[in-house]
Amino acid sequence: GAGVSQTPSNKVTEKGKYVELRCDPISGHTALYWYRQSLGQGPEFLIYFQGTGAADDSGLPNDRFFAVRPEGSVSTLKIQRTERGDSAVYLCASSLYNSPEEQYFGPGTRLTVT
């Protein structure tokens, strides 16, 4: 079947604008994860969903960042009042319930804030 997909592939926005990044997990995967990868760094955990609920949002850097997964499938990461420091690749991964050690990653969205 299809892998994890993320849209858009690239997003350029101006400082202060609002952006939404979308993740479509593998069908049947109840767990979904968001990571942020800044230039020259490894990915850093942002938030984890099990079904519709955020089971762990300890990685969200501040209240400008918010994520939803209303129907337990597609997830949207929302960033308000973007700052240049938000520029990064945002990676999404999904896994089966109780198999977090088998996370499948999408190709990421490269966000550039000018």
Partner 1 sequence: AQTVTQSQPEMSVQEAETVTLSCTYDTSESNYYLFWYKQPPSRQMILVIRQEAYKQQNATENRFSVNFQKAAKSFSLKISDSQLGDTAMYFCAFMKMGGSEKLVFGKGTKLTVNP
Tell me how far, at minimum, the Cβ of 91 lies from partner 1, in Å.
Answer: 7
Please name every residue paired with 5 in a beta bridge, in sequence order, or none if there are none.
24
Cβ proximity to partner 1, 48 vs 82, nearer residue: 48
How many Å apart are CA 30 and CA 19, to the nearest integer? 25
Reply yes or no: is the peptide bond before residue 25 cis, omega within 30 of 0. no
The answer to whether the beta carbons of residues 105 and 93 sit under 8 Å apart is yes
> What does the radius of gyration of the chain's CA atoms come to, in whole angstroms?
13
- Binding site residues, partner 1, CB under 8 A: 31, 33, 35, 40-45, 48, 55-56, 59, 89, 91, 93, 95, 100-103, 105-108, 110
Between 47 and 113, name the residue whose CB sits nearer to partner 1.
Answer: 47
Q: In the complex, what is the shortest distance from the CB of residue 40 to partner 1, in angstroms, rounded to a whole number?
A: 7
Of 42 and 70, nearer to partner 1 (C-beta) is 42
Token readout for 34 is 């968001």
